[in-house]
Chains A and B, each alone.
Chain A
Amino acid sequence: MTDTEAKTTVSITVNGEAFEANKGELLIDACERAGVHVPRFCYHSRMQPVGMCRMCLAEVDTGRGPALQPTCMLPCSDGMSVDTESELTQKAQSGVLEFLLINHPLDCPVCDKGGECPLQDQTMSYGPGESRFIEEKRHYEKPIPLNDNVFLDRERCILCDRCTRFADTVAGDKLIHFMDRGNNTQVNTFPDEPFASYFSGNTVQICPVGALTAKPYRFKARPWDLDETVSTAWTDSAGARIAVQSSRNQVIRLLGIDSDAVNWGWLSDKERFAFEALNSEDRLTAPLTRAGDHLVPTGWSVALDKAVSLLSDTDPSRIGVIGGARLSNESQYAWAKLAKGVIGTDNVDAQLGDGLPPELVLGLPRATIDQTCTPGGTIIVCGPDPKEEIGSLYLRLRHAVVHDGAKLIELTPSATGLSPFATHSLHPRPGEIATVAAALVAAAAGDPAVAAGGLTAESIAAAAGIIDGPVSVVVGRASLAESADCIADAALELAAIPGARFLSALRRGNIHGALDAGMSPGLLPGRTTIASGADRFAEVWPSTPAGSGLDTAAMLAAAAAGDLDLLVLLGADPLNDFPGRSLAASALESVPNVIAIDMFVNDSIDAAADIVLAASGPTESDGTFTNLEGRVSVCCQRVTPPGTARADWMIASELSRRLGTDLGFDSIESIRSEIASVSPLHSDITEKALVDSVVEGLLIEGPGDLVAPSPTGAGPNIHDAYSLRLVAARSMYDDGVALRNSPSSRGLARSITVRLSPPDFDKIGVARGTVVKVESAGGQLLIPVEPDPGVPEGTAVLPWAAPGSPTNTLIDASATVTDVRVERA
């Protein structure tokens, strides 16, 4: 052992055996690592210990003779000796269990937790034989709803403070609390104020008894009937690790897995409960073909033949492929190969005009979540509200700032879920974020601060003053009404901060996998361009595209202009996803043919698809997922797809075969090995490596052949001095298909309002909630208005996809910013 190692450990004795514990490590954790399990209820390794259940008591000698101590509160110190099996320890353990059981109903046979209950298990191992308590137990009204999804049975609660501590210290949503005192203590919400937290489901997972249950799982199964697979959450790009549990070939529960690098066991409720959509009645179980206004079920071979004839009859340069972020890495590769290598079009874009240039995302120095959250570092958020869009990332960022002393500067158009703990919140005028970034960087470098983007020199100087330690920039699209160019330019300015690293906050499920698979014009798989990779791919692919194709905006424009003949929607809904509804609508109207591959019929498919091929979902086929750090983790099949729905890669293979070219894939492994062979960056992703790193995943590092782009110099195009600049931001519960098809979460979508700064609101002179007219050059909406102090003057904030009011009606995708007028209706 070297000297430096010696300083970080302390020697302790666990049940007579010597053990080297880490300095400061809690005794309960050290025991665990030494192979000795100490029973516990309140202790949770991801939260501050509170030492209140007293289950972890053990006889500990710190030099002053043995005494009972809660091992969850005791940092290891040199020479400490613990006996977890002594007579006194055992007496204390069985005493605590007896106390916990005197008021706990013995309804295990009908309790959801039965079979996986720490109280039940520990009673077997450490408990008294029978209860000597002959009085009546405590009674409460049976389960009360804490919110739409989570129910609390107070009779079963053992008051471990896990759920309340989670709400307070992890989520920051102090909406459940201990009430009353002593033996009457109970967990509850304030009357009529539900536990409205995006993270409420975590409390169900960490409850050590069956007191908290979640609607999607209640009474659905018994633990011993469950089959489980380790996988990756798919509703956003964080790549949270999950356990997918099924019973009778149906997914019925997802649990967070504690991955150190990613989600620490936590999930947003969207990640946790959106699996319900996969079980929806509206899932496609067979291909569809158009018969007039209707789409009718058909057989696969009819559908595939029709698709193949459309594909082969169309000039490849007049074919466009939009979407792909929903797919696994392997399916993305298969589709990239089909489109670019077989069909021969480079009009392929997995982003729907709501992303960032791939060269920026992949070409700037990238940060992992851990690097971003370095204690004492500085985090600059120049992107979406992670609380609304990437829940697991939000929890990590919040922890870094609230508990680990990281500093956070937000550079967002309006207040976000991070604002309450941001050290500085800068809200640049939409379109002017790059000038603010430039001013911030200059001030941090010691130049005198200047005013920019509606912000004073003082506020920029103050923020610049805290930039210190490792600097990470979270970069993404905060507002879909502000062009990608603005954000790209801002990021390029921030790249001048010495050592700055970037964490992408593109939110769409496997979008980073799609970029790595080359599903973007000009790219090939493995972070390479057509120019630099064509030779390499020529050996494996039938062909490579001659030059760079169109992105989604250009494809839609071309389609609308009659310059495209066939659109392939690969899990895409341009009408709702593209910032510019009128362009999307006219593209779909003008393009002669549309083929869709999807799990549901979305609005675009309904309007325009000729053929729909039914795809399997993320729990129905194997694959891998790449998260926003570039971390590859498995996403495994747990159940069979509904009806005849197929994996996306199989659909690609089959189309290719019918087009006369064998993609060469007969299994997911065969695709992975081809990826590893063509992409040096992916060469470490072997089957064994995936198994070995099933929890943490494998990080793909380095920009490959990509180089960050040059600034575009885009600035706002102000055309109406009286207008407000529009901010269109996504929210956790929007009108997306996943939510529409999740019964438990459907009701949670926010009602749509336009939010204005109080002074701008006052100018309109209407009451809060009055319906007003929001009008842009492109369209108008009638929606209620409300004041919001988190909105800066001169901007109007609208949620992106709220039910019934498509905000993208107002947006012109080709403009840098969208100006709107808000008037009495």
Chain B
Amino acid sequence: MSRFTPDNEAIAREIISRYPLPKSALIPLMHLAQEQDGWVTEDAMRHIAELTGTTPAEVRGTGTFYEMFKFHPVGKYVINICSNIACQLLGAENLLEHAEKKLGVKVGGTTADGLFTLEDVECIAACTEAPALQVNYRYRLRVTVEDFDQLIDDIRNGNARDIPEHGTLSLVRQSIPADRMAGIVPPEQAGEVPVWMSRNDAGEQN
């Protein structure tokens, strides 16, 4: 279970093709795995190791370095409340406390219905709009406790359509048409002076 589906394996191969060396795709592929299953499963890591010519230990070693990867199931909605300095100054602690009460879980916990996981996170780059939070990496800004309750209710009632399920980041994927690609090759095969570097003043080839 939880290796990439054939469709996702095709996407994975496309992602790999955009890097000179396959291992560079490790992080994007772990995101893809998380998009598929909501978290990064062991089988997915094995599959990623196969696809990138690494070992599962390397995949896990890289993955566990990064905060966003979950190695056990989490809620369908992961709520990240920023408690760093700018948000702290404008009431993040209050908001966190309220969120714990509202959801009935402590920071790090997942609600019994598997819907929400609550996290206390570092600065999410919305400091002037404090206190700020992200639900599955979609922003909510200047959040009051009332806003928070409304958000939870909206999600529960299916009224937060801008928020995809946990794991999905960008709704748009990069895709390079084959006929447009300049050519991505391993570094040792790209060792030549690019043609345009020998241009003259008029911007033309010498």
Interface, chain A (partner B; CB < 8 A): 174-181, 188-191, 193
Measured CA separation A177–B45 after assembly (Å): 14
Nearest B residue (CB) for A181: B65
**In the bound complex, CA of A176 to CA of B61 (Å):** 9
Q: Which of B54, B55, B58 has the most CB of A within 10 A?
A: B55
Residue of A nearest to B58 (CB): A174
Q: Chain A at the B interface: mostly helix, strand, loop or mixed?
A: strand
* Inter-chain contact A181/B57, CB cutoff 8 Å: no
Q: CB distance A180 to B45 under 8 Å?
A: no
Q: Are B55 and A179 in contact (CB under 8 A)?
A: no
- Which of A176, A180, A189, A193 lies in contact with B64, CB distance below 8 A? A180
A188 CB contacts on chain B under 8 angstroms? 57
Determine whether B20 belongs to the interface, using a CB cutoff of 8 Å to chain A: no
Greatest chain A CB density within 10 A among B57, B59, B61, B66 is at B57
Verify if B3 is at the interface (C-beta below 8 Å from A): no
Q: Which residues of A contact B42 (CB under 8 A)?
A: 190-191
Count: A-B pairs, CB below 8 Å: 35
Q: Is the CB of B58 within 8 A of A177?
A: yes
Contacts of A191 in B (CB 8 A): 42
A178 touches B61 (CB 8 A): yes
Bound Cα distance from A181 to B61, whole angstroms: 9
Q: Are B54 and A174 in touch, CB under 8 angstroms?
A: yes
Q: Which residue of A lies closest to B59 (CB)?
A: A190
B56, A179: Cβ atoms under 8 Å? no
- Would you call B65 and A193 a contact (CB within 8 A)? no
Instruction: With both chains docked as a complex, state the minimum distance between the C-beta of A167 and any C-beta of chain B, in angstroms.
Output: 9
Within 8 A of A (CB), among B55-81: 55-61, 64-66
Query: Chain A residues with Cβ under 8 A from B55's Cβ?
Result: 174-175, 177, 190, 193
> Which residues of A sit under 8 angstroms from B54, Cβ to Cβ?
174
Query: Residue-by-residue, is B26-66 near A (CB-CB < 8 Å gives 1, otherwise 0)?
Result: 00000000000000001001000000001111111100111
Among the listed B45, B57, B64, B66, which residue makes an inter-chain contact with A175, where contact means beta carbons less than 8 Å apart? B57
Closest to A186 in B: B64
Given contacts A190-B55, A191-B42, 11 further A-B contacts (CB under 8 A): A175-B55, A176-B57, A177-B55, A177-B57, A179-B60, A181-B64, A181-B65, A190-B45, A190-B56, A190-B59, A193-B56
Q: Indicate the size class of the contact surface on chain B.
A: 10 to 19
Nearest CB on B from A420, distance (A): 10
Complex interface: chain B residues within 8 A of A178 (CB):
61, 65
Contact in complex: A177, B65 (CB < 8 Å): no
CA–CA, A462 to B40, complex, Å? 42
Instruction: Tell me how far the C-beta of B204 lies from the nearest C-beta in chain A, rounded to whole angstroms.
Output: 38
Chain A residues whose C-beta falls within 8 Å of the C-beta of B61 in the assembled complex: 177-179
Q: List 21 A-B contacts (CB under 8 A).
A: A174-B54, A174-B57, A174-B58, A175-B55, A177-B55, A177-B58, A178-B61, A178-B65, A179-B64, A180-B64, A180-B65, A181-B64, A181-B65, A188-B57, A189-B57, A190-B45, A190-B56, A190-B57, A190-B60, A193-B56, A193-B57
Separation in Å of the B107 CB from the closest CB of chain A? 16
Give 9 closest A-B pairs by Cβ, nearest first: A177-B61, A190-B56, A190-B57, A177-B57, A174-B55, A179-B64, A180-B64, A181-B65, A175-B57
Task: State in angstroms the CA–CA spacing of A190 and B45 once bound together.
Answer: 10
CB distance from B116 to the nearest CB of A (A): 24
List residues of chain A with CB within 8 A of the CB of B58: 174, 177
Cβ-closest chain A residue relative to B62:
A177
How far is B58's CA from A189's CA once the two chains are assembled, in angstroms?
A: 9
Chain A residues closer than 8 Å to B60, beta-carbon distance: 177, 179, 190
CB-CB under 8 A from B57, the residues of chain A are 174-177, 188-190, 193
In the complex the two chains form, what is the Cα distance from A180 to B58 in whole Å? 12
Q: Provide the bound-state CA to CA distance between A177 and B62, in Å.
A: 9
Mark B147-159 against chain A: 1 for CB-CB distance below 8 A, else 0: 0000000000000
Q: Name which of A176, A179, A189 has the most chain B CB atoms within 10 A of its CB.
A: A179
B3 to chain A, nearest CB (A): 15
Docked pose: A191 CA to B44 CA in angstroms: 13
Nearest Cβ in chain B — how far from A401, in angstroms? Answer: 15
Q: In the complex, which residue of chain A has the Cβ closest to the Cβ of B60?
A: A190
- A86-B97 Cα distance, complex, nearest whole Å: 50
Smallest CB separation, A59 vs chain B (Å):
32
Chain B residues near A179 (CB-CB < 8 A): 60-61, 64
A678 to chain B, nearest CB (A): 54
Q: Which residue of B lies closest to A173 (CB)?
A: B55
Chain B residue numbers with a CB within 8 Å of A176 are 57
Measured CA separation A254–B57 after assembly (Å): 29
- List, in ascending order, chain B residues with CB within 8 A of A177's CB: 55, 57-58, 60-61
Closest B residue to A184 by CB, please name it: B64
Report the minimal beta-carbon distance from A365 to chain B, rounded to whole angstroms: 34
| Closest A residue by C-beta to B49 | A190
CB-defined contacts of A175 to chain B, threshold 8 Å: 55, 57
How near does chain B come to A422, taking the closest CB pair, in angstroms?
Answer: 16
Closest CB of chain A to B188's CB: distance in Å? 13
Please give me the residue from chain B that is nearest to A193 by CB atom. B56
**Chain A residue at minimum C-beta to C-beta distance from B45:** A190
Which residues of chain B are within 8 angstroms of A190 by Cβ–Cβ distance?
42, 45, 55-57, 59-60
Residues on A with C-beta less than 8 A from B65 are 178, 180-181
